[in-house]
Chains A and B, each alone.
Chain A
Amino acid sequence: MRAMHRAAAIFLAATTALGAHAAGTVRVVTKDAAGMPVADAVAYVHSLDASTPVHPPSEPVAIIQRDQEFDPYVTPIVVGTRVVFPNRDNVQHHVYSVSPAKKFEIPLYIGESTATIVFDRPGPVTLGCNIHDWMVAYVFVLDTPYFAKTGADGIADISNLPPGRYRLEVWHPRLAGKVGLELTVVEAGDTTQVVSVTLRPDRRIRRAPDTGGVGYK
């Protein structure tokens, strides 16, 4: 925790303001070191006053494969959520993860896969395709119901928060270190947090052709 506080002191420039948004909402504005908005970051809070149970949705969440890429790139879900991986390409994919939070593979298939994967442990899960090495996506499994993903504007609204004290954290696939801070949500109050994060370079496996041919490259 101390390390997290130190990280927060280094990476977070937090400003808090009471606004006119819906009650019990924390608006997280995520920016990188250059002050540019950070998309695909997951902002989430844990209550410091009481444990909060999570209820996975009844319908599975879909992560689609299209144009030999995963869509969406980042998918935040709660523990126990079922995820399906429909393949909308005309080529086969072999979806897998070797992440500690969830190891699985769905061998070669095309179209709608019958496999449903239950993500039963919190933590980040990196997805890949064993045929197309450049394909990558992330599932971030949470043990709190209070979370949101930033859009292209770097903004994520975590809503329906009961009044109380919370610990806010932000996760991103390229995040260097952990970031987090404590905040208080007052009754009928909105809070805006500007979070500055340091991101590692975006190093993905190159997709552009090399010397021709298809298949494993």
Chain B
Amino acid sequence: MRSTGSFPVILTVLALASPRAMADGPYVSISEAVTWQDNVTNAPSGDGIRSAFELESGASVNWVRSIDFSTILTAGVTADVDVCPPYSGLNSLSAGPSVDVRRKLGLGPFAPVLYAEIDVRGAGFVDPERSNVEADLELGLTQRIRDDLQLVLGARTGSYDARDIVFSGNFASLKATVNWDVDETWRLKIIGGWRSGDTVSDYTAMKSPYGWVAVDPDTQYLPGAWHFVRTFGDPFVAYRESVRTWSCGAGISPALGRHTSLALQFMRFDSEGYDRYYEDVVSVSLEHHF
């Protein structure tokens, strides 16, 4: 993890140190989001399911540099504060550098754009065992089909190294998004995705002579790492699982001027590992580019 982080850090430092004539920026953007998750515990059974609101505030500063006529390098830093009022253990502060390279294969708005993005992020949680360092690599393509229709395809792989092995893991994912600008103001979005990798599923726990164990007797035989957590008030055991997740969703996003947009989005996640669980996520977000 630490060795993978050095590359984007070096690129970011170089980009930030570039003379003004060589790099455009800084571009500052902020985002605010309210998210509701109906199964924040990723629990397969009814008695373990907990829902929660989460408030997210983010800011990023980026510099853009032209490598050649068709290639743009963007480097910057991003910081986010996540607050989950009912479960303060999930409150977190995260920050890290990112580097994005985009190459346009031609001239004009309908030329496809290939991109590669590396993010490195350190996150500190109120529940200290969740604190981690994460590194992601995403490769993708954006293709505008018409003035009002755009397709975005992305493949991402990442690794996160937490203080507790239960909250560490790796993943790979695919995502497809279609953006349709109905008019100058309104954008409709359809999203589909697939993810395979580690995640944490929480089961309600009970005290036994051997310590806290999951209430569900089937979990006694789960091979993965587990950890008793107090995050959700009631006793829970958190298991690391290898899960495949299909997701789909839709959103609507009105533009509030040239630099600001609002978005309302619904996503449904269908995950299957040792057990199968679902999660619905509704979010309202605001993004502004200065």
Q: How many residues in B have their beta carbons less than 8 Å from beta carbons of A?
A: 43
Check if A208 sits within 8 Å of B69, measured CB to CB: no
Chain B binding surface, main DSSP class? strand
The 8 A CB mask of B67-84 against A (1 = contact, 0 = none) is 001101010000000000
The 8 A CB mask of B1-43 against A (1 = contact, 0 = none) is 0000000000000000000010011010101000000000000
The verdict on A213 contacting B261 (CB below 8 Å), with A92-B66, A128-B109, A206-B184 known, is no
The 8 A CB mask of B139-175 against A (1 = contact, 0 = none) is 0001010011000000000000000000000000000
Check if A208 sits within 8 Å of B256, measured CB to CB: yes
A210 beta carbon closer than 8 Å to chain B: yes
The 8 A CB mask of B184-201 against A (1 = contact, 0 = none) is 100100000000000000
Residues of B within 8 A of A215 (CB): 64, 72, 74, 100, 102
Check if B255 sits within 8 Å of A107, measured CB to CB: no
Chain A binding surface, main DSSP class? loop
B188 to chain A, nearest CB (A): 12
List residues of B (59-114) whose CB comes within 8 Å of A's CBs: 60, 62, 64, 66, 69-70, 72, 74, 100, 102, 104, 107-109, 111, 113
With beta carbons under 8 angstroms apart, the residue of A108, A209, A211, A216 that contacts B102 is: A216
B257 beta carbon closer than 8 Å to chain A: yes
With beta carbons under 8 angstroms apart, the residue of B25, B72, B187, B255 that contacts A216 is: B72
Which of A30-38, A52-60, A112-120, A197-205 contacts the other chain? A197-205
B242 beta carbon closer than 8 Å to chain A: no
Residues of B within 8 A of A202 (CB): 184
Residues of B within 8 A of A207 (CB): 255, 258-259
Residues of B within 8 A of A130 (CB): 69-70, 104, 107-108, 111
Residues of A within 8 A of B258 (CB): 207-208
Residues of B within 8 A of A204 (CB): 147, 184
How far is it, in angstroms, between the C-alpha of A27 and the C-alpha of B225 when the chains are bound? 82
How far is it, in angstroms, between the C-alpha of A90 and the C-alpha of B26 when the chains are bound? 10
Residues of A within 8 A of B253 (CB): 210
Check if A96 sits within 8 Å of B108, measured CB to CB: yes
Check if B108 sits within 8 Å of A214, measured CB to CB: no
The verdict on A90 contacting B24 (CB below 8 Å), with A130-B104, A208-B255 known, is yes
Check if A110 sits within 8 Å of B115, measured CB to CB: no
B50 beta carbon closer than 8 Å to chain A: no
Check if B21 sits within 8 Å of A214, measured CB to CB: no
How far is it, in angstroms, between the C-alpha of A214 and the C-alpha of B101 when the chains are bound? 11
A140 to chain B, nearest CB (A): 20
How far is it, in angstroms, between the C-alpha of A203 and the C-alpha of B147 when the chains are bound? 7
List residues of A (125-167) whose CB comes within 8 Å of B's CBs: 128, 130-131, 133
The 8 A CB mask of B227-249 against A (1 = contact, 0 = none) is 00000000000000000000000
The verdict on A203 contacting B148 (CB below 8 Å), with A92-B24, A209-B288, A212-B287 known, is yes
Residues of B within 8 A of A96 (CB): 107-108
B260 beta carbon closer than 8 Å to chain A: yes
With beta carbons under 8 angstroms apart, the residue of B31, B107, B256 that contacts A212 is: B31
Most chain A beta-carbon neighbours within 10 Å: one of B64, B144, B179: B64
Residues of A within 8 A of B181 (CB): 203, 205-206
6 contacts between A and B (CB under 8 A): A92-B66, A133-B109, A205-B109, A208-B260, A214-B74, A216-B104
Q: Which residues of B contact A (CB under 8 A)?
A: 21, 24-25, 27, 29, 31, 60, 62, 64, 66, 69-70, 72, 74, 100, 102, 104, 107-109, 111, 113, 115, 142, 144, 147-148, 179, 181, 183-184, 187, 253, 255-261, 287-289
